[in-house]
Amino acid sequence: MPAVSKGDGMRGLAVFISDIRNCKSKEAEVKRINKELANIRSKFKGDKALDGYSKKKYVCKLLFIFLLGHDIDFGHMEAVNLLSSNKYTEKQIGYLFISVLVNSNSDLISLINNGIKNDLASRNPTFMNLALHCIANVGSREMAEAFASQIPSILVAGDTMDSVKQSAALCLLRLNRTSPDLVPMGEWTARVVHLLNDQHLGVVTAATSLITTLAQKSPEDFRTSISLAVARLSRIVTSASIDLQDYTYYFVAAPWLSVKLLRLLQCYPPPEDAALRSRLTESIALIIHHDSEPTLLVRACNQLGQFLQHRETNLRYLALESMCTLASSEFSHEAVKTHIDTVINALKTERDVSVRQRAVDLLYAMCDRSNSKQIVAEMLSYLENADYSIREEIVLKVAILAEKYAVDYTWYVDTILNLIRIAGDHVSEEVWYRVIQIVINQDDVQGYAAKTVFEALQAPACHENLLKVGGYILGEFGNLIAGDPRSSPLVQFNLLHSKFHLCSVPTRALLLSAYIKFINLFPEVKPTIQDVLRSDSQLRNADVELQQRAIEYLRLSCIASTDILATVLEEMPPFPERESSILAKLKKKKGPGKVPDMDEARWNVNGNTEHSENTEPTNKSSPPSLVADLLPTNRPRPASYSPTILSAGNMAPSHPFTDLLNMNSSPAAGASLLVDVLSDLSSPAPAPTTGPGPTDVCEEHFSRFVCKNNGVIFENQLLQIGLKSEYRQNLGRIYVFYGNKTSSQFLSFSSSVTSSDTLKTHILPLLRLLLTDLSLNVHTMPVDPTVEGGAQLQQILNIECLSDFSDTPVLNVEFRYGGTLQNIAVKLPVMLNKFFQPTEMTSEDFFQRWKQLGVPQQEVQTIFKAQHPMDTDVTNAKILGFGVALLSEVDPNPANFVGAGVIHTKNTQVGCLLRLEPNPQAEMYRLTLRTSRESVSQRLCDLLSEQF
């Protein structure tokens, strides 16, 4: 049926389109379009009222111009007018224009709604269909509000035409997706299910889509649909193709409907019906979904195996993808493994990168101890030619597999060094951090690792990441290979230093640290290294970090005795066991739930699981990049390499966290030394008055604790104070660890908590602190408690936030050391933001609340200069550490950070919204906070703005 003969009356439009097509250049086209736009504009503005036909034609032209990629900013009104025409074609074009060009928040919506309302009421099926289509296409909230209640009745009314029913079902589905709250379940739901029995397969198709979506939300209401769907399916499958007439598609009976029905059945627990296996891919999805029938899984797997060699690329792709899911089921894992050669072959021969990517995914999923060496070797060899887009992911996967299935760690070290050699650029920090963690934790592999990196570094050109690993490992374990004259200390040093000048600043910083470690390990190379440190290129380096390291290390090597050097530069302590940072990175890269859950349980380097009690409870505020904290790469102070880190590392794992989780249980009553600070007002205050001149309150590390809960808060030559804290709603608990760093006793050790002097009266009623001494028995608390040299004492502080506050409590510690009274006061990092509970919300909610908090006093804004490099991940971690939920996809500008949370105090809760806008060019931030209380906004703003 040639179209031109059929009512194609708009000759003006055809002429216009031909004109455009005849335009020789882009300029000519633009010119022609502008001329036409001017023409249409004048017609629309003209005094003479246009008849419906002309309006239709011009609106149609505008549509065409829009499709060519030009913006259309007028004509909407005329299109809306067309809706009220009683000529079908004019109405139709009007609706088309609206559905293509009117976005959902247009101010014309009420006029459009009016047109729709008339058409829905018209009882003319064609008009009703147009109206329903329009609702489904625009799908705005206003439309949903206006019509959501009306459509179900159209759908289930007995006298509605089939075509209208179809439209109504899908229209309802659309509204249910966009504004589910406006489509209430009701008496109609039961009747919708019966549409599955409808004579008209088109109606069944549309209704199945609707029911599937509804059933996913409330399965119970639609349970009756199971039997109807099964009956319908079996009728389709058993019918001769001729019966279904036009619904047969290439000799397959109603494929779309079958797939939809199968999808619907997946909402429910497994029924057993042979007919369900009729459509292969969807059926396999169903089988996977049920994951209960081993034989079926194996059969599915074999079927997929055949697909793997199918001529059709599409099928191979889907087969690889489905097999990935099968590989993670215990029943089919073995069956999947039999296809390993085919998959490896796919990796080598597939021409389409997306198919190869699937093959890599599958290899990763099917890997276990029996085939890990083969798979890792294949992946490594593929990596040499792999597409850049998937290299990083392969690197991560190889690193994880190598670690997970390492039988001996020499293989692991070899694999990772190979990885760096082949794809050094794609080896992220996490990967090489991890190697170092493992080498440090595994005594038996250290010598081998040192030997291997030493050999690898011989290559004339080696990747900087290799140099980092090499520098670190030789710095720690170079002595293990120094006996061999081929790798004598001087040879090692010269090897590293020969590459020094080609490296970036962080690597050079790391190498400097390695050098100072060499001085400790090999006194014989000390003069050589001192010369290097002393050279102008180090001491006067333009980079502050390098300069500082060179100066400090040089001084250290000159003035410190051998003993001190040996203590300061001692071998790094083992790292606490934790989830591999690489796995975390892969998860992040793939999005949650995308990494096949091979073994989500924590896996340890040592392969033992006992440590798991020691691992910290999953704590939202511990940033994912703990490794980065522990390794000296970009840290501003080189000191973090030595004393602080050593003791922090020693301290953390040695204290089992016993009852972090039953925060709400009252502290063991007998064992509490009540230092309710209220009473401190009257009682002789411990620190400031009695001490021999109060010391200054230390707040050096205070601001670090705004966004984290654990760490060292104070340290001098004698004492180190570490904190671990946990907060829930308005309650908090801090574990305080006092470490005696000396070798002699501390006598008369006591501690107390006060508010800082100035605001004493203010803070006291607001924050109640309960000091409970754990390690000393309170009943018989000795008058002269002592802390032995090198020992540690711990205390628990219970905190309750009564109302919002801005002052900070102070921890006073007093003891006698060598006859003198020591007095230390430290600001305790208890700030308002610790009592945050994160709140997730949608973009819509967020902006609604944002607007509600519009009073000027409720908002505090500050603009400040960035103190640290503007790194998105770090900022994310800090905002999370601050205690709020980080909301993605709320702010139209993805570079901005948006957060929401509720501050819990005993008396009240304060909702808080924040927004941080970085400006990388100017290295500035703008921070905006809105809460219902001015004081809260101000305090939070002050705290957070110092963090970036």
Partner 1 sequence: MLLFSRQGKLRLQKWYTATAERDKKKMVRELMQIVLARKPKMCSFLEWRDLKIVYKRYASLYFCCAIEEQDNELITLEVIHRFVELLDKYFGSVCELDIIFNFEKAYFILDEFLMGGEIQDTSKKSVLKAIEQADLLQEEDESPRSVLEEMGLA
Residues in region 300-329 near partner 1 by CB under 8 A: 313-314, 316-318
Q: Using CB under 8 A, which residues numbered 468 to 507 contact partner 1? A: none
Q: Does 163 bind partner 1 (CB under 8 A)?
A: yes
Q: Can residue 166 be called a binding residue for partner 1 (CB under 8 A)?
A: yes
Nearer to partner 1, 55 or 939 (CB): 55
Using the contact rule CB under 8 A, the part of the chain among 86-94, 360-368, 419-427, 702-710 near partner 1 is 86-94
- Single out the segment in contact with partner 1 by CB under 8 A; choices: 16-24, 381-389, 498-506, 642-650: 16-24
Nearest to 97 by CA among 111, 76, 116: 76
Chosen residue from 113, 167, 625, 905 binding partner 1 by CB under 8 A: 167
Residue 219 touches partner 1, criterion: CB under 8 A = no
Residue 3 touching partner 1 (CB under 8 A): yes
Tell me if 9 contacts partner 1 by CB under 8 A. Answer: yes
The CB density around residue 603, as the number of other CB atoms within 10 Å, is 17
Q: How many Cβ atoms from other residues are within 10 Å of residue 599's Cβ?
A: 11
- Identify whether the C-beta of residue 164 lies closer than 8 Å to the C-beta of residue 200: no
Kindly give the residue spans of alpha helices, DSSP state H, lying in 652-729.
Answer: 677-680, 687-690
Side-chain half-sphere exposure of 95, counting CA atoms within 13 A = 26
3-state secondary structure of 795: strand
Please state, in angstroms and rounded to a whole number, the distance separating the CA atoms of residues 355 and 390.
12
Q: Copy the structure tokens of residue 934.
A: 């001015």
CA distance linking residue 335 with residue 339, whole number of Å: 8
Choose one: 244-252, 622-630, 812-820, 860-868; the region binding partner 1 (CB under 8 A). 244-252
Residues 726 to 765 in contact with partner 1, rule: CB under 8 A: none
Out of 228, 355, 467, 546, the only residue in the binding site for partner 1 (CB under 8 A) is: 355
119, 155, 196, 247: residue in contact with partner 1 (rule CB under 8 A): 247
Q: In 3-state terms, what secondary structure has residue 929?
A: strand
Quick check: 88 binds partner 1 (CB under 8 A)? yes
The span of 125-133, 187-195, 476-484, 680-688 binding partner 1 (CB under 8 A) equals 125-133
Of these, 30, 34, 38, 87, which contacts partner 1 (CB under 8 A)?
87
Helix (H) or strand (E) holding 483: none
Which residues share a beta bridge with 176? none
Question: At its nearest, how many Å lie between partner 1 and the CB of residue 317?
Answer: 5
Residue 430 to residues 407, 426, 710, Cα–Cα distance (Å)? 22, 11, 22
Cβ of 22: how many Cβ atoms within 10 Å?
A: 10
d(CA 816, CA 749): 7
Q: Which of 206, 516, 811, 825 binds partner 1 (CB under 8 A)?
A: 206
Q: Which position among 7, 460, 485, 592 is part of the footprint of partner 1 (CB under 8 A)?
A: 7
Our finding on whether 81 is near partner 1 (CB under 8 A) is: no
475 contact partners, CB below 8 Å, separation of at least 6? 513, 514, 515, 517, 518, 521
Q: Could you say whether residue 259 binds partner 1 (CB under 8 A)?
A: yes
Taking CB under 8 A as the binding criterion, the range among 8-16, 438-446, 745-753, 894-902 that sits at the site for partner 1 is: 8-16
Could you tell me if 418 and 383 are in contact, meaning their C-beta atoms sit under 8 angstroms apart?
Answer: no
Using an 8 Å Cβ cutoff, are 732 and 796 in contact?
no
Does residue number 209 form part of the binding site for partner 1 (CB under 8 A)? yes
CB of 891 to partner 1, least distance (A): 14
Cα four-point dihedral sign 632, 637, 638, 644: negative
| Between 102 and 457, CB nearer to partner 1 | 102
Q: How many CB atoms lie within 10 A of CB 299?
A: 16
Closest CA to 553 of 600, 603, 519: 519
Residue 16 parent element (H or E)? helix 11-22
Binding of residue 896 to partner 1 (CB under 8 A):
no
174 touches partner 1 (CB under 8 A)? yes
| Residue from the set 74, 249, 388, 864 that interacts with partner 1 by CB under 8 A | 249
The smaller minimum CB distance to partner 1, of residues 281 and 647, is found at 281
Cβ(209)–Cβ(255) below 8 Å? no
The residue range among 257-265, 621-629, 724-732, 839-847 that interacts with partner 1, by the rule CB under 8 A, is 257-265
With binding defined as CB under 8 A, does residue 348 bind partner 1?
Answer: no
926 within 8 A of 919, measured Cβ to Cβ: yes
- In one letter, which amino acid is 105? N
Residue type at position 491: V
In the list 281, 374, 695, 843, the residue contacting partner 1 (rule: CB under 8 A) is 281
Q: Give, in degrees to the nearest 5, the angle at Cα 631 between 629 and 632.
A: 105
The structure tokens 């390695």 sit at 514
> To the nearest whole angstrom, how small is the minimum distance from the Cβ of residue 176 to partner 1?
10
Q: Does 254 bind partner 1 (CB under 8 A)?
A: yes
Residue 139 interacts with partner 1 (CB under 8 A): yes or no: yes
List the interface residues with partner 1, window 91-120 (CB under 8 A). 92-93, 96, 100, 103-104
**Does position 38 bind partner 1 by CB under 8 A?**
no
Shorter beta-carbon distance to partner 1: residue 56 or 549: 56
Q: Which two tokens stand for residue 306?
A: 């055949």
Hey, which residues between 40 and 79 contact partner 1 (CB under 8 A)? 53-54, 57, 60, 63-64, 67-69, 71
Nearer CB in complex with partner 1: 96/813: 96
- Residue 133 or 499 having the CB closest to partner 1: 133
Q: Binding-site residues, please?
A: 11-12, 43, 53, 57-61
* 731-740 and 719-728 beta bridge pairing: antiparallel
Q: Is position 361 an interface residue for partner 1 (rule: CB under 8 A)?
A: no
Least distance CB 405 / partner 1 (angstroms):
28
Q: How many CB atoms lie within 10 A of CB 288?
A: 18
Contact segment (CB under 8 A) with partner 1 among 246-254, 404-412, 626-634, 743-751 equals: 246-254
Site for partner 1 in 557-616 (CB under 8 A): 591
Assess 164 for contact with partner 1 (CB under 8 A).
no
CB closer to partner 1 out of 112 and 648? 112
816 to 845, contacts with partner 1 by CB under 8 A?
none
Total of chain residues touching partner 1, rule CB under 8 A = 78
Encoded tokens for 51? 């008849």
| CA–CA gap between residue 52 and residue 84 (Å, rounded) | 10
Long-range pairs for 239-244 at CB < 8 Å and ≥24 separation?
244/201
What single-letter amino acid sits at 300?
A: A
84 part of the interface to partner 1, by CB under 8 A:
no
Identify which range of 128-136, 443-451, 541-549, 813-821 contacts partner 1 by CB under 8 A: 128-136
Asked if 895 is part of the footprint of partner 1 (rule: CB under 8 A), the reply reads no
Which residue, 284 or 439, is less far from partner 1 as judged by CB? 284
Which residue, 104 or 672, is less far from partner 1 as judged by CB? 104
257 in contact with partner 1 (CB under 8 A):
yes
HEC string for 508-574: HHHHHHHHHHHHHHCHHHHHHHHHHHHCHHHHCCCCHHHHHHHHHHHHHHHHCCHHHHHHHCCCCCC
Part in contact with partner 1 (CB under 8 A); list of ranges 14-22, 359-367, 694-702, 919-927: 14-22
Residue 684 to residues 18, 261, 688, 691, Cα–Cα distance (Å): 97, 79, 10, 12
Q: What is the dihedral of CA 871, 875, 876, 878, to 10 degrees?
A: 140
**Binder among 108, 118, 234, 255 for partner 1 (CB under 8 A):** 255
Determine if 378 is a binding residue for partner 1 (CB under 8 A): no
Among 83, 120, 173, 324, binds partner 1 (CB under 8 A): 173
**Shortest distance, CB of residue 12 to partner 1, whole angstroms?**
4
* Residue 618 DSSP class: P
